Structure 1
Amino acid sequence: MLKKIAVIGTGYVGLVSGTCFADIGNRVICCDIDESKINSLKSGVVPIYEPGLKELIEKNTEEGRLFFTTNIPAAIRESEIIYIAVGTPMTPQGEADLTYVKAVAQTIGEHMNGYKIIVNKSTVPVGTGRLVQAIVEKASRSKYPFDVVSNPEFLREGSAIQDTMNMERAVIGSTSTHASTIIKRLHDPFQTEVVETNLESAEMIKYAANAMLATKISFINDIANICERVGADVEKVSEGVGLDSRIGHKFLKAGIGFGGSCFPKDTMALLKIAETSGYRFKLIESVIETNNNQRAHLVSKLMSVFGDIKGKTISVLGLAFKPNTNDMRSAPALDIIPMLRELGAFVKAYDPIAYVEAERELGPQAVFSNDLYETVKDTDACLILTEWDDVQKMDKDQIKQLLRSPIVIDGRNLFDPAEMKERGFIYQSIGRSSVWEAELVSKAQ
Structure 2
Amino acid sequence: ADDNADMRAYLTRLLSTNYNVVTAGNGREALESILTTAPDIILTDVMMPQMDGFELVQHLKANPQTRNIPVILLSARAGEEATVEGLATGADDYLTKPFSAKELLSRINSNLKIAESQNNSVRQVYNLFMSAPVAIAVLAGEDLRFEMANEKYLELAGKTSVIGKTVEEAFPELEGKGIRELLAGVYRDSIPFYGNEFEFDLVRGNKTEHLYVNFTYSPLKDTEDVTTGVMVIAMDVTDMVLARREMEQAVAERTRELTIANIELKQSEERYHRMVDEVEDYAIILLDKNGIVQNWNKGAEKIKGYKDDEIIGKSFETFYLEEDLRKGVPRQLIEEARLHGKASREGWRVKKGGATFWGSILMTALHDEAGDVIGFSKVTRDLTDRKIAEDKLLEYSNSLEEQNRELEQFAYAASHDMKEPLRKILFFGSSLQDRITGTVDAKSE
Alignment TM-score, normalising by the size of structure 2 = 0.26
Larger fraction in strand: 2
Q: Which has the higher contact order (CA 8 A, sep 6+)?
A: 1
Larger gyration radius, structure 1 or structure 2: 2
